[in-house]
Chains A and B, each alone.
Chain A
Amino acid sequence: MDKAAADREFERLYGLTYRYLAAYALSRIKHLEDTDDLLQTVYTAFYKRIRSKGTLDEASARKLLTTSVKHELSRYYGTRKKERDRVTLDDGATRDQLEHELARSLPDFAGEDALLLGDLWEEIGRRGDLTQRLFLLHFRLGYTLKESARALGMTEASATSRIYRTVAALRRDYFAKEDTQP
């Protein structure tokens, strides 16, 4: 396949698969910071394959890429150990509380303060690897709570509760004096 056509095809399939593949890798890789390297390796090989063997449909591409990620994880990058997570009963209340928490208003400049963002991220990191992955899936890649929980092998209630506890703590610690009522 010529380069221009291969580029077009690759970008199309890349657009269709990136989010899924990133989440897949993110939720399984042993060390989070290796995610981009792994994805780069997998997609580079995929690109070369398109150049040499032509394109393929989305489902096949997704399957092939997923297999590649699995291979990379098992052979080179390692998979994370599943943590024992506390089982949280789903009483529905936590979800409401989380929604309420996330809807609280803050001053706009909070999002522009790099130091603050860094501190917040550090705080999230202190709450464990699983929490960090959860935040990435949910807030970075836009996965729903249910999807994020499934990707990480936990219940939706646990994921909801974990995010809620973290968000509530962050607000309490950093914005207690702000007017945070929605």
Chain B
Amino acid sequence: MTMGELMTKTAAFGSQNLLGGPDRLLTRVKAGAAGGQRRTAKLRRSFVVLAAAAALLGALAITAFAGAMGWIPFPDLYRMLGVGWNQMEDNTPQYGVIQRQLGAMLRDWNHQRLEHGLDQGNVSRMMDALAAGDLTLEEIYRMYGKQPLAPELVAQVTDRYPQLPDLEREVREGEARMEELYPKYKDHTLDAEEQAWWDDYREKTDAMYRMQEEVSRELTVLQAQQDAPALWPDAIPQAYRMTEAAVPLIADLRLQTDAAYIQLLVEEYLPQILDFAGDITVITPAPETVELVCDRVWSHQREVLYPDGIHPQGFAAWRDDTPLTATREEVEAAMAKLFPLVRVRHGDPVDEQGAAEALYDADTGLYSHRFIGTDNPDAQWQGYPLSITREGDRRVLTAVVLQMVDRGDARVLLTPDGTEVHRFPSRQLIRLTRYDLAKLLDTLPKWEFAARVDADVYQNSRGDSFEYGLADYSLLSVRALGAAHVEDRFADEDGGSYRIDTVAVDTDAQGLPVPVLEPDSVFDGACAVTGGRVVQGAEDVRTFVRHVRDRTTATLTMRGEDFICVLATYPDRIQAEEYQGEPDERGLVYRWSREIAEAAITDEGAFVTDEWGDGWWLGDPPDWMTQAPPQWRYIRPLTGITFMADFDAGQPPAAGQVLLFLENAGLLAPYTSGSLLDIPAREFEDLAQSYFPADSAALRQSFLYHSDTDSYVYDWGLQASYGRMRGQQQEYGDDYVIPSVVQQGDLLYITVCHQYGVRRYQEVLVVVEPREDGGCRYVSREVVFSNYGS
């Protein structure tokens, strides 16, 4: 072989992630074309750095951890853990990072010991002891028979990155200025010199992180090389040993968890995306025979199972520490309902930290607390949803599911059956390159699920019939596919279903997302909205609405405080593309792209972009929309007035509704200790009856009433049963308005309107009897109009 041939091979080898070659690209193109691929929107990487910088800034306030942990014997450990100077010093943020990294390292060691048939350490307990100063790192190393890296070995690696200390110093020195400039950056008001400095700083930060990762990878490899299983002690000291019962049943559970996860996608995420809760059909079934072992409390991807009927408050309460008791038969029945192919095995109780927990008591056959989980507490599930397409009245989700675990010095991706399909170079570098991802997607089996969709038909102001719930969902780029985690994509922690899509987008000079919609516009307007009003560009809005009415093509860009929405009207439809929030640390923003029904100006002068969406006033809103009448004080404490059940003398209100009112009115404080309310039955009922046509017998039917203590008990920490939080009261104008108040005799007839956007609303008639002390007694509540359900 000649040097020239070697160079050719080197270039081919080194560039396989950059340039797959003509055959590879041809396959990608054909697959993309066949799959209806649209353009792959480019992510500007400056966002990645920006986000990292922002995260750094945000984290600076956290208290130091490192100093208390006895790092001194291991001055270079932070290098191995892949953290930098800023994670190691006083008043720096890295409590969480270091703890996570160190915990991951110890769990690695546990896995190694497990593979050699040795017992494992209780990581959680060790970390606690470390933080408390009861244990040093040296001692932990000794427990596992590990040798810290010799300084000269560390130096061998770090010497190869001579720029790193300088970079770290520069980044550190620039930190104050970055903090100072950050508000201006957010407001896009950096001048040219500041912008240049900012860009330069971000580049340095990026380079620093890359080098830190490289050093970490090399040191980890070195440490693994000098590790000798023969030196490992036979047993971890008892105080820090994982108990026999708590050793995870790794081999048994992998397949079952996969099935559960697949079901999770179907049962939980899909309805969230599609915003419906209908029948679900699994097209490609889960493996024919699987077992689901109900012995784990902890689940990385949240609790999966929520057998209706077992718990009186349903699934939501399970996320709290609400005690649950269920017989094994009930569990089996619930399992069978959700997982028809799953055979239930009642196993040993184990919690996240490996501590024995009485989840299932074999003697009594009863389950208590929560159950279901994953096979491996260190595993993270990675779901790569590929597409959701429409097939008649069904939606089909296609996804690849993998789990990620730490192995030695690397983090690996496993297929559901445990086969390793990808190995990341280090635990810190866990992003799939597009090449890797494309390779995986070509080879891995894909799961398909179908969901039936009920459309909500509405006729808009142009006379078009519009069906809600039928917007297509697709991923725009392989890059986004690689970066997105299924939970990020499908689950909104706030409980909404708004975060639908994660896309990589291009950005404009201000770093704002550039929308993809590009009709051949005859009109390209822009407006700014804030506080429910169009504050700039009202004329553009009017022009755009004329285009909508005339069915001519035009766009309107709306910029809000935390979103950008582009509306495009075509002869046959109106399209909206909304970007929410700022790009995350991966440079991704959430995008909601859909066809909408409306873009009109209402008679009252509000610009409506969607029947269900918000409206923005073009001028001043009418007074009754913004100014609360004096009678609002009667309505304000009635939390969720438009959602509570009707009541009157013949149909008394439920105890829960009364409870919330009394709490909001500040009447329960004397009976509350911490988050726990405990009020004698008689006193609660007296209070209730002084405000409502309440009936003691009806009130006592509630689960709030405890006959053994003859009191009403509720833990405000749960907050599971009611939508609004304790003490939260609705504000006038945002959601609720009072369009009319009529007095007849001693009674006031107050109409309360709760609205979504401008066109969907519900009117509730509340009848009250004012009292001389300024309060009132509620006589009845009745829904008089609602088009929520249409």
Our verdict on whether A and B bind, yes or no, reads: yes
Q: A residues within 8 Å of B by Cβ? A: 7, 11, 14-15, 18-19, 22, 26, 31-41, 43-45, 47-48, 51, 72, 75-78, 101-108, 110-111, 114, 117-118, 120-122, 124-125, 135-136, 138-140, 167, 171, 175, 180, 182
- Encoded as 1 (CB less than 8 Å from any A CB) or 0, chain B from 1 to 30 comes to 111111111111111011110101110111
Check: B415 CB closer than 8 A to any chain A CB: no
Top-7 shortest CB links A-B: A121-B14, A102-B4, A76-B42, A139-B11, A117-B13, A140-B11, A43-B29
- Encoded as 1 (CB less than 8 Å from any A CB) or 0, chain B from 432 to 445 comes to 01110000000000
Nearest Cβ on chain B to A125's Cβ, whole angstroms? 8
Structural contact, A118 and B5, CB atoms closer than 8 A = no
Interfacial chain A residues near B754, Cβ < 8 Å? none
Structural contact, B19 and A101, CB atoms closer than 8 A = no
The CA-CA distance from A35 to B28 in the complex, in Å, is 13
A-B contact pairs, 13 of them (CB 8 A): A22-B19, A35-B18, A36-B18, A36-B434, A38-B42, A40-B29, A41-B39, A43-B25, A103-B2, A111-B1, A121-B14, A121-B15, A182-B2
Check: B506 CB closer than 8 A to any chain A CB: yes
The CA-CA distance from A45 to B208 in the complex, in Å, is 38
Nearest Cβ on chain B to A43's Cβ, whole angstroms? 4
Among candidates A7, A136, A175, residue contacting B18 with C-beta atoms closer than 8 Å = A136
Among candidates B1, B10, B28, residue contacting A120 with C-beta atoms closer than 8 Å = B10
Chain B contact residue count (CB 8 A cutoff): 42
The CA-CA distance from A69 to B478 in the complex, in Å, is 18
Interfacial chain A residues near B3, Cβ < 8 Å? 101-106, 167, 171, 175, 180
The CA-CA distance from A120 to B5 in the complex, in Å, is 13
Q: With A14-B26, A47-B33, A103-B2 known to touch, is A34 a contact of B14 (CB < 8 Å)?
A: no
Interfacial chain A residues near B32, Cβ < 8 Å? 40, 44
Q: B residues within 8 Å of A by Cβ? A: 1-15, 17-20, 22, 24-26, 28-30, 32-33, 37, 39-42, 44-45, 433-435, 477-479, 506
Among candidates B11, B13, B19, B42, residue contacting A36 with C-beta atoms closer than 8 Å = B19
Structural contact, A139 and B7, CB atoms closer than 8 A = yes
Interfacial chain A residues near B8, Cβ < 8 Å? 139-140
Interfacial chain A residues near B40, Cβ < 8 Å? 37, 40-41
Interfacial chain B residues near A105, Cβ < 8 Å? 1-3
Interfacial chain A residues near B433, Cβ < 8 Å? 33
The CA-CA distance from A171 to B2 in the complex, in Å, is 11
Nearest Cβ on chain A to B747's Cβ, whole angstroms? 65
Among candidates B14, B26, B42, B479, residue contacting A118 with C-beta atoms closer than 8 Å = B14
Q: Chain B residue with minimal CB distance to A6?
A: B33
Q: Chain B residue with minimal CB distance to A37?
A: B40
Q: Chain B residue with minimal CB distance to A171?
A: B3
Structural contact, B1 and A103, CB atoms closer than 8 A = no
Structural contact, A124 and B42, CB atoms closer than 8 A = no
Structural contact, A78 and B44, CB atoms closer than 8 A = yes
Nearest Cβ on chain B to A30's Cβ, whole angstroms? 9
Nearest Cβ on chain B to A24's Cβ, whole angstroms? 13
Nearest Cβ on chain A to B381's Cβ, whole angstroms? 26
Structural contact, A45 and B18, CB atoms closer than 8 A = no
Structural contact, A36 and B435, CB atoms closer than 8 A = yes
Structural contact, A102 and B2, CB atoms closer than 8 A = yes
Interfacial chain B residues near A118, Cβ < 8 Å? 13-14
The CA-CA distance from A77 to B43 in the complex, in Å, is 8
Interfacial chain A residues near B6, Cβ < 8 Å? 106, 110-111, 120
Interfacial chain B residues near A36, Cβ < 8 Å? 18-20, 24-25, 28, 434-435
Structural contact, B18 and A37, CB atoms closer than 8 A = no
> Taking each of B10, B22, B478, which has the highest tally of chain A beta carbons within 10 Å of its own beta carbon?
B10
Interfacial chain B residues near A34, Cβ < 8 Å? 42
Structural contact, A37 and B19, CB atoms closer than 8 A = no
Interfacial chain B residues near A39, Cβ < 8 Å? 25
Interfacial chain A residues near B24, Cβ < 8 Å? 36
Q: Chain B residue with minimal CB distance to A36?
A: B20
Among candidates A32, A43, A72, A108, residue contacting B1 with C-beta atoms closer than 8 Å = A108
Structural contact, A76 and B18, CB atoms closer than 8 A = no
Structural contact, B26 and A140, CB atoms closer than 8 A = no
Q: Chain B residue with minimal CB distance to A121?
A: B14
Nearest Cβ on chain B to A70's Cβ, whole angstroms? 14
Structural contact, B4 and A121, CB atoms closer than 8 A = no
Interfacial chain B residues near A122, Cβ < 8 Å? 14
> Taking each of A32, A51, A102, which has the highest tally of chain B beta carbons within 10 Å of its own beta carbon?
A102
The CA-CA distance from A103 to B3 in the complex, in Å, is 6
Interfacial chain B residues near A33, Cβ < 8 Å? 17-18, 433-434
> Taking each of A33, A44, A72, A125, which has the highest tally of chain B beta carbons within 10 Å of its own beta carbon?
A44
The CA-CA distance from A149 to B28 in the complex, in Å, is 29
Interfacial chain A residues near B39, Cβ < 8 Å? 41, 45, 76
Among candidates B14, B15, B434, residue contacting A37 with C-beta atoms closer than 8 Å = B434
Among candidates B2, B5, B11, B28, residue contacting A40 with C-beta atoms closer than 8 Å = B28
Structural contact, A104 and B2, CB atoms closer than 8 A = yes
The CA-CA distance from A86 to B490 in the complex, in Å, is 52
Q: Chain B residue with minimal CB distance to A33?
A: B18
Interfacial chain A residues near B478, Cβ < 8 Å? 37
Among candidates B15, B45, B435, B477, residue contacting A140 with C-beta atoms closer than 8 Å = B15
Q: With A37-B434, A105-B2, A139-B7 known to touch, is A47 a contact of B13 (CB < 8 Å)?
A: no
Interfacial chain A residues near B5, Cβ < 8 Å? 111
Structural contact, A32 and B29, CB atoms closer than 8 A = no
Among candidates B20, B29, B30, B42, residue contacting A77 with C-beta atoms closer than 8 Å = B42
The CA-CA distance from A11 to B1 in the complex, in Å, is 33
The CA-CA distance from A12 to B678 in the complex, in Å, is 80
Q: Chain A residue with minimal CB distance to B434?
A: A37
The CA-CA distance from A105 to B8 in the complex, in Å, is 14
The CA-CA distance from A48 to B30 in the complex, in Å, is 10
